[in-house]
């Protein structure tokens, strides 16, 4: 199964609903900054980009739409890793397992979260764009 297939499945099953809620709140909270960002991009580019394209770029550059929620989700992943390692009989301190996870997986986890966010946005872009009007 490809990462795109996984995203489609997560979305269809409701696993991205919390991201959809966070996305709505983020766009409402940052509407002025988003509009300025799109204007700034358009002033620097040879061709105009749409608000839709600009919003996608804003989401990517922002890296996060809800720091608290994303931190909690990432912590849950670390806890799962600790549990798996303990079940496998790994004799390592919990903080070392957590540090290992962070070193090996944190960047990829954040990249995947951005993909989830962009995917969720794309599925209902008209709804989210309407929040900027």
As a whole number, mean pLDDT of residues 25-52 equals 94
CB 57 within 8 A of CB 15: no
Instruction: Please compute, for residue 113, the number of CA atoms within 13 A of its CA located in the half-sphere on the CB side.
Output: 24
Interval 55-108: pLDDT, tens: 999 999 999 999 999 999 999 999 999 999 989 998 899 999 999 999 999 999
CA angle 8, 109, 31 (to 5 degrees): 75
Domain map (residue ranges) of the chain: 3-130
Q: Running DSSP on this structure, what letter comes out for residue 65? A: S
């Amino acid at each position: 199964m490809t990462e795109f297939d996984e995203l489609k499945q997560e979305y269809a099953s409701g696993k991205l609903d919390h991201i959809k809620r966070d996305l709505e709140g983020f766009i409402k909270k940052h509407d002025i900054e988003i509009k300025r960002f799109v204007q700034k991009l358009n002033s620097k580019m040879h061709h105009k980009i749409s608000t839709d394209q600009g919003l996608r770029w804003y989401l990517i550059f922002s890296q996060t739409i809800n720091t608290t929620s994303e931190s909690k989700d990432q912590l849950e992943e670390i806890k799962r890793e600790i549990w798996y390692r303990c079940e496998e009989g790994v004799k390592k301190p919990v903080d070392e397992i957590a540090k290992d996870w962070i070193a090996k997986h944190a960047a990829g986890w954040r990249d995947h979260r951005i993909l989830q966010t962009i995917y969720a946005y794309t599925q209902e872009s008209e709804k989210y764009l309407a929040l900027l009007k």
